[in-house]
A and B are shown apart, each in its own frame.
Chain A
Amino acid sequence: MKFSLRNKSKGAEILQQGDILNKETEGLSQSQIVIQRFFRHKAAMIALAVLLIIIIFVFSVFDMQFLFFHYHGWWKYTISDMPDLAFKECPNNTVGCPTLNLRPHFLGGSGLRFGDHPFGQDDVGHDYFALVIRGAQRSLLVTVIIGLVGGTIGTVIGAISGFYRGWIDAVLMRFTDFIITIPTIIIGAVIGAHFGNLGVSFLALYLGLFAWTGLSRLVRGEFLTLREREFVDAARVAGATNRRIIFKHILPNAVGVIIVSVTLLMSGAILLETALSYLGFGVVAPDVSLGLLISRYQDAFSTRPWLFWYPGFFIVTIALCINFVGDGLRDAFDPRQRRKISRKERNVTLKLRARND
């Protein structure tokens, strides 16, 4: 008895929530709804803000050249500068400890200070802040390229094979199987051995060409399900072209899955590059990436922890933010998704209900 009572009240509450939801989206286009929902997703908004701050911060550090416009970075060192070691007497008999200090005077620290080498220096004197920032630039670049290349190929192949089925599907999916069987690390090794000096974009491009298989299978699955739905039948009966059905009817419904997968792919890309660097197949010196730094200084964590933690901090933060943004987008794109009903709104509905009773 008790259970059924509780559920009845819950059912009523759901209806009420639906009312709020409808009111909220009345008179808005699909994209407006998505944007509005996304902006209300607190975690995603924070993550997006952090990510943007990191990107702006990271790319403002060094000089840059856009066609005729020359941008002057605000940091004095580049990754090839080798100033003398500022500190030769650091804890654990090491050198090059950081000057960054976030501990204020009243907590026993020496006050807020950025200093000459905020993240310290490596053995030969390179400014570690410059190295980490350059690494973060590289890792972001890898992420974006793999996300773009892998995301595009995966979506296109998945969409085509899921929509057209038949022999097109068979051929494309067997091609996907073919790509799945070739291990990424072999690609990394071959590129490292032969084109290592062509740079990180080249590496990312090649990895992107092999990183789309999971995504394409997901998108295909989504298309297979969606194309059997009533609204697709309706569109077809109404005389819509395949192109129109794909782009106007199925794709908007599949976009949630695609976005989540692409963000997973992108955060995975940072880790893939890290893993390849660890095994010696990633970014090649003198260029650096976060993965390269963290694997180079993996045994520094108990002696020169700053060499280990700063690149780690950037890897984790970037990956974390991308995942949260993806999460927010997924929720925003889900057409049936309800947003959180705040306590205030629930009270209003309860009052309304009470009055109706």
Chain B
Amino acid sequence: MKKWNRSAKAALALAASAGLVFGAMSPASAATRTSVVIVESNSFTSLNPNTSGQNLVMNTDIAYMTSMGFYYYNNEPSIIPNTSFGSYKVISQKPFKVQYKVNKGIVWSDGTPIDGVDLLLSHVISSSAYSIAAGLGDPADTKAPAAFDSLGYNGTYDQNIVGEPVLTSDRMGVTVTYKAAIPDWVLSSPGAFPVHTLVELAAGEKKLGSGPHNLAAKNKFLTAFKTKDTKTLKAMGKIWSSAYNIDAVDAKTNPLLLVNNGAYLVSSAVKAQRVTLTLNPKYNSGPKTHGIEKIILNTISDGTAAVQALANHEVDVYAGQATADGLAALNKISGIQVINALSATWEGVYLRSGDGPGETDHYTGVFANGSTAASKAQATDIRRAFLMAFPRDEIVEKVWKPLSAKSGPMDSINYFSTFPNYKKMVANNGSSRYTAGTQASRTTDALKLVQKYYPTTSASAPNVKIKILWGSPSNARRISEAAIIKAGLAKAGFDADLTPEVKWVSLLPSNKYDAYFCGNGLSGVFQAGLTGGWNSGADQYSGYNNPAVDAAVKKLQATVLTDDEIYAQYLIVEKNVYDDAMSVNITQWPAVTAVSQDLKGIDPSPILPETVWNFWEWHY
């Protein structure tokens, strides 16, 4: 053995010196980059995120960058009409008719012109009535999906559409009739889909068609749509629902699947690893791009790993839920800029006043309104005491401020601090009851209020038992919040049980809990999108029932209102919720995006698709 060691050692040493014969190194050249690598947390599974099982963030991001429609959200967020693509206008109030028109000259990536026929598929995948009438199956069936296995059924469009969209005389658009003037009718705009490729795919074709061939295919769809040709539509439905579910794209992939009108097109995808998007040379359906030729979406599910990959310059853009340390680590990395913003997700605490929906037992805790006026008054007082003592400022200071200097308490049930009416709302909504004075003074008042009904309790020996539901016990922020809440409430005489539950969401209706705290997200901006579920109904987990709130929410959902009217309705909701002491919000979540310093133009939006919303403005 000794001999081997010695010889190995000699060999190693000599080999190393021998290698030195080869030398001379030249510095690596740094050319201007034209590619961007983005981190995504899940894998690519489908080119069509509107079908069941496929509405994952990565799929929707890819769909967003590879297709264009009538509008998009900017980062305020508000709706911006995409005038390069087309226009829409109300042409009649009674009956309420809207005309959506595509601009002349815009084309799909295979060169086929985009026209009104391409907007019709949107009706097929959103209207339950059409699906049933055309023999494609009832989308509400609990046993089997309809031929178009779409997630678009049963939405605002489906509930309000009258008849079918009618092609305009120049074939460049469609006219849609709604039951009545609906709020946010822009959001119901039909999306464009290259129907000719769908027809060709259904016919088993494997190559891009010629101009006349594509036009014939398009007409075939139009006939099938008009005559409700079950057989043709079913064949197309099968393709639409399943053929786009691919997780790898290479030279063998059917090019018909990749036809689209976005600035970028999927050029290759390695299963479970990454997707490469390349500039669409025929793109004219939206804002101009600025020199980025390739966008690569890399799947990295672990946050720490993503930060380290960024530090090693393997990726250029990472947006994620930051921890204080993750943020500090990002700030330390050279060549990285960290963009701090607030997301459209916020944290709040919600109290229970009555029975949860679908529960067989009854809620009898300290917050229960009961059946008499006296018991209701007592419960309201206790709830008010809870909210007054709730250590919101401390949570913001210790848990959220380290993540973003922009973080601050949120004093409205529905409005974000960035909204124009936020200050007016805070001044009038009655939240001052829970924000006036200092936390210490509020807690003293709260204790007095509690002692009125529970004289034996005190700050040193709290005995008013409450059980608070919260989840994600592996989330460090929640753990910190729970610790602060427990300590803060104890000072007002509450003995809070804050055991976390992994399956907390399923327990939301449970009458065993007096309150819960969690995060809430906004998915889009629409008139009734902020009501926060305070109207009575099956999603009302707190057992709250207030006719004034119900009326206001109904108005927001069903009628087109002016900005002032919208504000007035929201004010009604907020005043009641605060007065009945049902909830306070804690703060808006910070959103951290780390970007390679050379990459310009990234300005994340608080709502999906967050970082990529303005991908066309990116440049080096």
Binding site for B on A (CB under 8 A): 80, 82, 92-95, 122-126, 192-194, 196-197, 277, 280, 284-286, 295-300, 302-304, 307
Contacts and interface: CB of A to CB of B under 8 A. Distances in A.
Contacts of B328: 92-94, 303-304
A192 B499 CA distance: 12
A126 B503 CA distance: 27
Contacts of B324: 94, 123
Interface stretch (B158-166, B481-489, B550-558, B563-571): B481-489
B479 interface: yes
A304 B328 CA distance: 9
A200 to B, nearest CB: 13
Contacts of B303: 299
Contact of B329 (A193, A196, A285, A302): A302
B483 A286 contact: yes
Q: Across chains A and B, which 6 residue pairs bring their CB atoms closest together, nearest first?
A: A303-B328, A280-B474, A300-B325, A285-B479, A124-B480, A193-B502
Interface in B396-431: 398-399, 402
14 contacts: A122-B480, A124-B398, A124-B399, A124-B484, A192-B502, A193-B503, A196-B473, A285-B482, A286-B479, A296-B476, A299-B304, A299-B325, A299-B329, A303-B329
B501 interface: yes
A124 B498 CA distance: 17
B480 A303 contact: no
Contacts of A93: 328, 331
A124 B479 CA distance: 10
Nearest to A91: B328
B323 interface: yes
Contact of B326 (A80, A277, A299): A299
B479 to A, nearest CB: 4
* B interface secondary structure, majority: helix
Contacts of B501: 196-197
A124 B474 CA distance: 16
Contacts of A303: 325, 328-329, 332
Residue of A194, A299, A302 with highest tally of chain B CB at under 10 A: A299
A249 B548 CA distance: 84
A123 B500 contact: no
Given A197-B501, A285-B473, 7 more contacts: A82-B483, A82-B487, A95-B402, A197-B499, A284-B499, A286-B483, A302-B332
Contacts of B482: 285-286
A92 B332 contact: yes
Given A93-B331, A303-B328, A123 B398 contact: yes
Contacts of A284: 473, 499-500, 502
Which residue, of B304, B328, B478, B480, has the highest number of chain A Cβ atoms within 10 A? B328
Contacts of B331: 92-93
Contacts of B192: none
A80 B325 contact: no
Nearest to A90: B328
B37 interface: no
A123 B484 CA distance: 11
A298 B307 CA distance: 12
A126 B486 CA distance: 13
**Best-surrounded residue of B307, B483, B484, B501 (most CB of chain A within 10 A):** B483
Contacts of B332: 92, 302-303
A124 B482 CA distance: 11
Nearest to A292: B474
Interface string B454-487: 0000000000000000000110101110111011
A196 B502 contact: yes
